[in-house]
A and B are shown apart, each in its own frame.
Chain A
């Protein structure tokens, strides 16, 4: 009776006992789990506690003041209720459309014989990795009601006098968020589709279900944990979205929670941190409700699709329809990637973005970037932080997911909740919490003002996504696989590598890429925590942007796209095969 997991858990009958149990005993494992919980508390509860203090105290930490609930009282206004409605509406619409599109795209890429599906898998995710300020700039040029290229083309082609698109609107905010929501959700779901045991679908088909019914009642139902998890992640991202609302919502008078928080911190003579943190905690409470609902829906149900029984992903032959799905991918790629990236690419070789005249063609932005020593120092720092941060975050996320999904440890829900917490706090506020947390540590803990502050911040910010992704992957793995491995004499390490690592590798890799590029893009915490010598790319890009160097930011944006293509190619073409071969 050994649980292949945490030993104190041994409640799972007929399971292996954790190897560590044999090596260091129950005490050692409990100490390890205790350390894990302490570390999670340090990363999530500690900065949130500082923020909570800020929400119930008239001044921020370290300043004289008094405890009161003025921030919470102040936020209850009719205007803020409208802001809440706007925010929830935008997040809900964005997440619903995005997950529908993402599921369809994932199904096409992972489960059909649509031509070039491997290549599409990389290409349709590209917009996710471009800094939002760049895609905002591109869409401002494409979808501007007066002079936008799409509207101009429409008027020229149809003779109409009206503009069908205006990105400076509520729907402009939704559209810009979808640029990130669709590839994000696609990345989270595509490997789950691929990991589907076809026997289950075949069984449904054999029972007379139509293809649509099989998809709806079997495929989607088995995908429920992944889809629900992805939807919740996406919804929370939508609620916390900032750039889209700032760029496209503000000119149209569309206010959302994050812009309201931002205003209360940055747009008053004395920043109103109490109000900002009160709003943030109220949002967090709402988001936590959502997560509890998710737990409730998934509780007590099994979603294991990867078992020991002849697992081989099945590809559906679409016949002539494969060209229809191919055409759909082409159109999707053209609209979401070629159009904005095309603007960015053009912008990088003209003196001014949006002004495309022969006499303004230039490569000076490339040479300026190549000779920008500060930027390259920031790139080196960021790559180090990205590599170490993404790897550490994914390892931590894997451990958290393992504890929460593969064990019956009494406090596993606590671990899950601790890992979730930072995701529910808007980035503009969480950055301040991390600043307060690190600055008020004892002086002999040298984190503040060093590159470690950034690394811990990235760990805190990336951990929720990492643990969600790995939880989704582990939920699909049958316990039989581990048992079978151990019965046949494999050691704990062999089982870990050949079963858990090998089968969850695609999810780990996707999580790694998302975390890596999340670190490359992260600004809210970075700008508060970087110090001289630990400058990072996102801050340097923001500086360039602020100084009107959109063309140079475009050059870096293209470099990032190149990096994504290389990383994803290595992952898909090389690493996946290597790991699978273990």
Chain B
């Protein structure tokens, strides 16, 4: 008995020692990455999140922490794809890290083999359950764009306020809903994709009878709702709603949850600053960076940020998610949206 206990104790001690040694080794390896990253001095980040102020805040925070310069190139998604594809095809390896919608990063970058294996980064352990499964050795979630329903509070009051996505089918909203185009890539197509999957095809057959007004001028459409031209807009980005504070609008979070677009990070093949790229990837998953996202109305991908956000962003920080689009059914769903919404 005693002998068994001693054996167990010894085994435990050895395991702890190994674990401690492995952790120490990991830390030493990571310290080496940091040291190499600092030697590289800069990292080039290409992102399809165009001109977002929170990017600059995160860049400043990273630069302040590590003294490594981030060269940010932010362009529209389609241009980003062609630019990186062209650079890779012509052997011009200018970019280190790419940040893109998860579907595009998978289909346009990962599957064609232009991302390199990243290895585990320390903050990866912070990922929430929903997002940990989206991480692979080449891709890792960095933040999400959550979408709800924008209403004009002067025109939609009390009991009229939609509580569910299904409330959009109410005949009183016929011809009164302005929407991001379901037939084009973006928030609209993600909404179509998710709600078709989760609420059934029947939902869109009915919604298509509601005389939805499609537009792609997002900023202007939000103002049209605030000005009272339309009582509501779908799908509405939470972060944009925060910017409109002071206008008679409100973001409704449907009971089924918000649709969302997840933005992932990947390190490109031939990245000239691979260590700085890893360090930047890790920094994006830090509570510090995720809090910047959350305060801007984005969804955090790590646990424990919701309690620290500003009061304005609190409403969205703990919101339930309905889902995001499936990259493999994207084109088919775009075609169905085109057929249904003529």
Contact = CB atoms under 8 A, between A and B. Distances in A.
Interface of A: 60-63, 136-137, 140, 144, 146-147, 246-247, 250-251, 263, 265-271, 273, 351-355, 360, 374, 432, 435-436, 439-440, 443, 448-449, 527-528, 530-532, 539-540, 542-548, 550
B51 A546 contact: yes
Contacts of B229: 144, 146-147
Nearest to B335: A268
B311 interface: no
B90 interface: yes
Interface residues of B, number: 59
Given A439-B90, A531-B73, A271 B82 contact: yes
Contacts of A355: 226-227, 247
A63 B331 contact: no
Interface stretch (B117-125, B161-169, B215-223, B260-268): B215-223
B7 interface: no
B35 interface: no
B10 interface: no
Given A60-B85, A435-B83, A527-B76, A268 B185 contact: yes
Contacts of B244: 352, 548
A440 B90 contact: yes
A63 B89 contact: yes
Interface of B: 44, 50-53, 56, 71-79, 81-83, 85-92, 94, 103-104, 107-108, 181, 183-185, 213-220, 222-224, 226-229, 240, 243-244, 246-247, 327, 330-331, 334
Given A265-B78, A528-B75, A62 B89 contact: yes
Contact of A546 (B83, B85, B89, B219): B219
Nearest to A266: B78
Given A352-B223, A527-B75, A543 B50 contact: yes
Contacts, number: 142
B334 A354 contact: no
B243 A266 contact: no
B82 A60 contact: yes
A470 B73 CA distance: 38
A352 B245 CA distance: 10
Contacts of B77: 266
Contacts of B228: 147
B85 A544 contact: no
A263 B183 CA distance: 10
B320 to A, nearest CB: 25
A532 B82 contact: no
Nearest to A268: B331
Contacts of B217: 136, 140, 246-247
B51 A544 contact: yes
11 contacts: A62-B90, A140-B220, A266-B78, A267-B184, A269-B185, A352-B244, A448-B90, A449-B92, A543-B51, A546-B50, A547-B51
A62 B75 CA distance: 21
A273 B327 CA distance: 19
Given A266-B185, A271-B81, A353-B223, A251 B91 contact: no
Which of B75, B77, B108, B330 has its CB near the most chain A CB atoms (within 10 A)?
B75
B327 A532 contact: no
B312 to A, nearest CB: 15
Contact of A432 (B51, B82, B88, B240): B82
